[in-house]
Chain A
Amino acid sequence: MTEPHKPRWHFRRPSVIPGFGITFGYTLTCLSLVVLLPLAALVWRASGLGLSGIIDVARDPRVASALKISFGVSLLAALTASIFGFVVAWVLTRYRFPGRRIVDATVDLPFALPTAVAGIALASLYAPTGLVGAQLERIGIQAAYTPVGIFIAMVFIGLPFAVRTVQPLIAEIDKEVEEASATLGASRRATLVKVVLPPLIPAVLTGFALAFARGVGEYGSIIFIAGNLPYVSEIAPLLIVIKLSEYDYAGAAAIATIMLGISFLTLLAINLIQAWSRRRFGYV
């Protein structure tokens, strides 16, 4: 990386555009100081426990159940967000109806609304005394302060990812292909399943992975609406905060490292999906 002046090999491909050195250097510097160095401190702190120590922390029943809740509920929420997100994206791109533009803008609300604000709003809405919570209670579902509450908050924050990754691709579907399929006698269902949906799969998966990653790490909106009960509704990020309050820095760092590893894997998965999609369909 440090030898840009070798005659035959260049670190970067030669170009007449100036400014590579300064922008690249600046990027690396900031990246190192803001992201890499602190993350290294985290891994270093956790490494004090050794790999077996980290595995022990993960195996501790309370930690294991918190991780299970975070990942399990997040998977469910991402799945829900993907399914309904697909419907929303489809409706928004394919159909014309009054207020479509407003509905379209609404989808981004969780991007812009601070999580703590979302948390108190969701809690007061889905609590047994709240507008929706009272109705749910009537049919025997307690939403707030149970894993259902975690689920609701995760769907909330994951939804825009699910919609926004799929939406541009639905818009780009070539209608002529669909028409051709229809003309050749395929039923609407066959056209959808065999022609329309396959190219959308990578985008749906990417949206799913993004919603999942956000859900796993989410804290602000969830603590207000989850019961925070060990083994039932305690999420992994909250357990990190609790470990910190118990002065258990190594334990907090270990859980954080596990979560970091998972987010890295998720990102990797997204990149693989996109690479696959590029090969298979020629676009991301």
Chain B
Amino acid sequence: MSEGAVILSGPPPAARAQSAVGEGRAVRWTLIAVAIVFLALFLVLPMLTIFVQAFSKGWETYLATFREPDAIAAVKLTLTVAAIAVPFNLVFGVAAAWAIAKFEFPGKSLLVTLIDLPFSVSPVVSGLIYVLVFGSQGVFGGFFAAHGIQILFALPGIVLATIFVTFPFVARELIPLMQEQGTAEEEAALTLGASGLWAFLTVTLPNIRWGLLYSVLLCNARAMGEFGAVSVVSGHIRGLTNTIPLHVEILYNEYNFVAAFAVASLLAGLALVTLLLKSVLEWRYAGELAAGGRH
């Protein structure tokens, strides 16, 4: 990086104020180019590949993929799993954020760390722990088998693994947000005679709604896309316990590459929509999102 560039080329009049604290034009554009090339190689090209491959045999083949009963079953299962896991983590996240952000108690940072733990646990380990608990050889395996309840290799196991990997999403977004907002507004509402629940609904909720939406968005994307953990607990039964990501793997292993990428494009599309909504949220409501550096 050449700091002399500024002096040599002379600052353009318009950028005068910035020149003292900025880099020269050449450095600037080099950095921009490096950033863009890097992102293109690692992020954009893979994304494009999915769509190029998905449509490589035309629209007809693309659409035919989704008429397969197994594909339809996979989409339904994924939607079901997300419909259970996301609301669960939503309720949990709000409760945890309320307890942690609005009160002072010892051991708080340990609690936050424990909530965070699933973030850094390998997805495979997340699946493994449920095998060790609910598998026939596991801790409670015999109990559930004796009562005819199938947990692993069925919907409950997939839901549990999904809840585990998405566990911190909502709580992590809301805790700093609610901490920043403090308790003054709720206290005012309570003084005016509102019940606790009413204060939460009319004061807290409106304050955190965008953060909540934001976190639900990311939680949902992860819930629908989880592969490692679900693959360990699913059993890969066609039409029954295959989620969309697992169906992608199956098609891929059946030499059905175009179909694999077609189904993958569904998830990629979901990712794009998620990013779009996320950007809109960040752009419009930056002030009401913790990440945006409020106040």
- On A, residues with C-beta under 8 Å from B are 1, 11-13, 15-20, 22-24, 26-27, 30-31, 34-39, 41-42, 44-45, 84, 87-88, 90-92, 94-95, 97, 101, 103-122, 124-125, 130-132, 152, 155-156, 159, 164, 168, 171-172, 175, 178-179, 182-183, 187-192, 210, 213-214, 216-220, 224, 236-238, 240-241, 244, 249, 252-253, 256, 259-260, 263-264, 266-268, 271
Contact = CB atoms under 8 A, between A and B. Distances in A.
Contact of B122 (A13, A17, A216): A216
Nearest to A111: B218
Given A13-B105, A178-B21, A84 B35 contact: yes
Nearest to A84: B38
B227 A27 contact: no
Contacts of A131: 45, 49
A268 B112 CA distance: 11
A36 B32 CA distance: 45
A105 B276 contact: yes
Contacts of B21: 175, 178-179, 182, 191
A260 to B, nearest CB: 6
B121 interface: yes
A112 B218 contact: yes
A255 to B, nearest CB: 9
B193 interface: no
B47 interface: yes
Contact of A124 (B53, B106, B227, B249): B53
Interface residues of B, number: 107
B123 to A, nearest CB: 5
Contact of A42 (B22, B41, B104, B128): B128
B95 A23 contact: yes
A259 B232 contact: no
A109 B190 contact: no
A214 B42 contact: no
A224 B228 CA distance: 12
A45 B139 CA distance: 9
Contact of A122 (B20, B46, B275): B46
A39 B129 contact: yes
B162 to A, nearest CB: 11
Contacts of A117: 50, 225, 245, 248, 264, 267-268, 271
A214 B41 CA distance: 20
A91 B35 contact: yes
B44 interface: yes
29 contacts: A15-B104, A17-B183, A17-B190, A19-B102, A31-B114, A31-B115, A35-B117, A35-B164, A41-B129, A87-B31, A88-B39, A105-B276, A106-B43, A108-B275, A109-B43, A111-B222, A112-B225, A116-B246, A118-B46, A156-B42, A164-B291, A182-B21, A217-B121, A218-B123, A219-B227, A220-B123, A240-B122, A244-B128, A256-B129
B125 A217 contact: yes
Q: Which residue among B41, B160, B190, B276 has the maximum number of chain A CB atoms within 10 Å of its CB?
A: B41
B92 A240 contact: no
Contact of A104 (B3, B111, B125, B279): B279
B113 A168 contact: no
Interface string B127-149: 01111110001110000000000
A12 B227 contact: no
Contact of B39 (A107, A114, A214): A107
Q: Choose among A45, A117, A264, A267 the residue with the greatest number of B CB atoms under 10 Å from its CB.
A: A117
B99 A159 contact: no
Contact of A217 (B124, B131, B260): B124
B35 A120 contact: no
In the A-B complex, the 3 residue pairs with the smallest Cβ-Cβ separation, listed nearest first, are A114-B225, A217-B122, A188-B3
B120 A87 contact: no
B70 interface: no
Nearest to A212: B120
Nearest to A101: B279
A26 B139 contact: no
B118 A35 contact: yes
A230 B246 CA distance: 25
A38 B129 contact: yes
B114 A95 contact: no
Contacts of B252: 120, 224
A103 B35 contact: yes
Interface in B195-235: 196-197, 200, 218, 221-222, 224-228, 231-232
A108 B275 CA distance: 7
A114 B226 contact: yes
Contacts of A110: 43
A231 to B, nearest CB: 20
A187 B1 CA distance: 12
Nearest to A104: B279
Contact of B99 (A27, A109, A116): A27
Interface string B83-121: 000000000100110111011111101010111111111
B120 A263 contact: yes
A182 B164 contact: no
Contacts of B245: 114-117, 220
Interface in B34-69: 34-36, 38-39, 41-47, 49-50, 53
